A = this chain, B = another copy of it.
Amino acid sequence: MNLVKVQAEPFDIAEVQDGLRADNPAIGAVVSFVGLMRDMNEGDQVATMTLEHYPGMTEKALEAIVEEADERWELMGIRVIHRVGDLNPLDPIVIVAVASAHRGEAFQACEFVIDYLKTRAPFWKKEKTPDGERWVDARHSDDDAEARWKR
């Protein structure tokens, strides 16, 4: 029912969403988040990006997040696919899609999963700007976003 994947290849947004809702007429809502590579960060032009991760732990961390979402809300399927390796502006980096009978659950769970992913899944971005390569710094706003879900 749930699926977590880390891959270098692009993913097909439509396929992910269709797979999630396929053949389950009890699903009334699918909420999805797609994170895309921007060509600007911290005021600088970004040409390309490389995503490093911690193989093994990444999948475990994502599975733990998905499991927690499943415990917190009444859901009918979660998909998380995250790319690693080289990326260019406009490329989708991650998709989180959540299905449920009613929309409230799917919205909350989808935002919860991406908020937790941002602070708990071991991915690191390195971007190439006109001034050279640099590691992206973690955002305080992501810590704040995660803190909202504490209980």
Q: Which residues of A contact B (CB under 8 A)?
A: 13-14, 17-18, 21, 23, 25-40, 89-90, 101-104, 106-107, 110-111, 114, 141, 145
Contacts and interface: CB of A to CB of B under 8 A. Distances in A.
Determine how many copies of this chain the complex contains. Answer: 2
Contacts of A89: 25
B25 A145 contact: no
Query: Per DSSP, are chain A's interface residues mostly helix, strand or loop, or mixed?
Result: mixed
A151 B119 CA distance: 31
A33 B33 contact: no
A112 B97 CA distance: 18
A34 B30 contact: yes
Contact of A107 (B30, B33, B103): B33
A29 B30 CA distance: 16
Contacts of A104: 141, 145
A67 to B, nearest CB: 22
A25 B90 contact: yes
A146 B37 CA distance: 32
A32 B35 contact: no
A44 to B, nearest CB: 13
Given A17-B13, A23-B90, A103-B114, A28 B33 contact: no
Contact of A28 (B23, B27, B36, B111): B36
A145 B14 CA distance: 28
